[in-house]
Amino acid sequence: MPSMENKSLWLQFGASVDMLENAVRQCPDELWEGTSPDDGVWYLTFHTLFWTDLYLSGAVEGFHPPQPYGLEELDPTGVLPDRVYA
């Protein structure tokens, strides 16, 4: 059985993910796409979910996000995805 501390942490993490989902669902299109490739809410959301997925997987080696996403976020030069994700 998980400790109360672990359970509390997991519940807070889940609440944070739920809040992100709510923000994404309510985001107006003009904010979603932004005015340049890296200033839209879409990119902040993509970045957050990419790194959350990576950290929860436990290791960079062998990690690959689900299709159609790639490993651009691991590129130290800051390569952006080739499209805006809906």
Q: In this predicted model, what pLDDT tens digit does every residue of 44-66 receive, in sequence order?
A: 999 999 999 999 999 999 999 99
Q: Is residue 11 part of a domain?
A: no
Tokens 């997987």 locate to: 57
CA distance 86 to 78: 21
Q: Is residue 7 part of a domain?
A: no
Number of domains the chain is built from: 1
What does residue 59 show for φ and ψ, rounded to 5 degrees? -160, 145
pTM surpassing 0.75?
yes
CA distance 43 to 55: 18
CA distance 32 to 57: 27
- pLDDT band (50, 70, 90) for residue 13: very high
59 CB-near residues (< 8 Å, 6+ apart)? none
In this structure, are residues 42 and 33 in contact, taking their beta carbons and an 8 Å threshold? yes
- Per-residue pLDDT averaged across 1-16, rounded? 85
Structural domain of 52: 29-86
Q: Is residue 19 part of a domain?
A: no
Q: Is residue 13 part of a domain?
A: no
Q: Is residue 23 part of a domain?
A: no
